[in-house]
Amino acid sequence: MSIASQSNIIRILSGYNQWWQTRSVQKQFLKPAQRTVFREALRFLREGEKRVIYMAGPHRTGKTALIHQLIHQCISDGTDPKHIVYMNFAHPFFSFLPIDRFYSAFFENICPDGGARTYCFFDDVQLSPGWEKSIDRFCRQYPQATVIASAAVRPETVSKEAVLLHMPPISFYEYCQIAAGTAKIVSEPLPDCRGLLEADPSRLRSIAQMAGRFRRQFMRYLYTGGFLNLVGESDDIKIQRMIQKTVVGDALLRDISICYNVRSSVELEKIFLYLSFECPSVISFEAVMRDVDCVTRPTIEKYVQYLEKACLLYQCFPYEFAGDRMQKVQPKIYLADAAIHNSLLMLNDVRISEGSMDKIVETAVYRHLRFSGPDHEERQIFYQRGRSGGKNLDMILGGEKPVFLDVRYDSDVRLSRKDAILARSGDAALCLVITKADGMFGRVPDLPDNIFCIPASVFLFLIGHAKAEGRDFLAL
């Protein structure tokens, strides 16, 4: 009998789709915590306007858990369980055959109703060679099917009939919810950015005290990162090894190699290790060429693009103010999570606290900002390098009146006229200085009114809380 026989296909599919018999998703697959993206993914499913819903993010950010939560909700909404099929392409059998072979076997043996709407959940679909073309071809061949595909690599293109939902590492607010074991961790309404600017000192102290209850979780979050499956894990060595093996190793040695036909991963690994040591910072590709042997600039640029598509890092580019001399276009690169840096350097809590925390906190702030809106959008963020020795503008949110952010977690919070955020404050609607101390919360006397200090733990908590409630924290 052929290994690709229809009976083998049905046998494997039945093992993954036990709700065909039980009419429910097994409890061990239903995680109690729901990420904010669940709400948006469910809305697209119910509206039915999109034929394909992509969910892209690093490994261990909860994509598989989200898929099973969506399947459970579809069944609860009245969908016949036999109209739902789940395929996990981490199983080697699913990469052995094209997608349509599995679906045709399912369609003929499990769901023979030709006109019924079916839901096809493809997990780790990046492991299927040519997965994007296969999904396009599949949708043309089976117009009754809606595809929900999770991937650790972003699709190259997203058609009008598709939507891409981003699944970065979890926010600090989500981390606190999971650590507490409940979605209800605050008992009072919390303000957005505009509300903070209008709050009196007593209200700011109350907010700082509320967020102060999660200070221990904040330090743990910075160290272990926003990887859903590792929340609550107490073995630090295990956490580091899991990040090295799955978040980094699977992406470098498996996903990128399959998707982009990388013949040798040695150069790719060297470049990523270099970036892990340096980021977040403005990266000179010439410096990378000097430090990583046998690598050309085009190769570096190509690999950085692959790493970004594989959700391991983000690039941001310089902002040009009117009348300024144009800056040399060099990307400022951030890791997807600072815990990647910590795991590769084998840093523990003590060693991190003794060193500089600015870069770790800046990485967390950047990711929260980038994904602070709806999950199908990414906020555009820039940076600017200071001149004449002045401090850089860490982050700039573009717009008619931009918002400036400066992370000063370990460094001196005192601002001088040489600092870019003060010298440029007239060009911004708001200048946020991200600090460490709870006492540095509010406007600063003798400085322009649009300069506002906010503790990092409070800022990350509030921006995550606003997103969980479907609000944009930075709407001014």
Reported as half-sphere exposure (CB side, CA atoms, 13 A), residue 449 has a value of 3
Q: According to the model, what pLDDT value does residue 353 have?
A: 54
CA distances from 349 to 127, 185, 246, 339, 354 (A): 35, 25, 22, 11, 9
Question: Quick one: DSSP state of residue 127?
Answer: G
- Cβ neighbours of residue 390 under 8 Å, at least 6 residues apart? 418, 419, 420, 423
State what percent of residues in the chain have pLDDT above 70.
93
- What would the pLDDT profile of 171-189 be if each residue is shown by its tens digit? 999 999 999 988 889 888 8
Mean pLDDT (the chain) is 90
Residue 346 main-chain phi, psi, to 5 deg: 55, 45
Count of CA atoms in the C-beta half-sphere (13 A) of 467? 26
381 — phi, psi (to 5°)? -125, 140
Domains of the chain: 6-166 (3.40.50.300), 172-468 (no CATH)
Helix axes 266-278 and 297-309, enclosed angle (nearest 10): 80
Q: Distance between CA atoms of 137 and 117, rounded to whole angstroms?
A: 18
**What is the pLDDT averaged over residues 363-385?**
94
Contact 247, 227 (CB under 8 A): yes
Residue 97: predicted pLDDT: 82
Whole-model pTM over 0.75: yes
Spatial strand order of the sheet with 145-151 comes to: 84-88, 118-123, 145-151, 52-56, 162-166
CB neighbours (10 Å) of residue 457?
25
Mapped to the 3 state alphabet, what secondary structure does 400-432 carry? CCCEEEEECCCCCCCCCCCCHHHHCHHHCCEEE
Q: What is the pLDDT of residue 31?
A: 86
| 160 has a pLDDT exceeding 90 | yes
Terminal CA-CA length for the chain: 66
Summarize pLDDT for 75-125 with one digit per residue, the tens.
Answer: 999 999 999 999 999 998 887 788 888 898 998 899 877 668 999 999 999
CA 324 to chain centre: 33
Contact indicator for 391, 419 with CB cutoff of 8 Å:
yes
In this prediction, residue 33 has a pLDDT band, given cuts at 50, 70 and 90, of confident
| Residue 131, pLDDT above cutoff 90 | yes
Q: Is the pLDDT of residue 322 over 70?
A: no
Q: What angle do CA 136, 142, 145 make, to 5 degrees?
A: 90
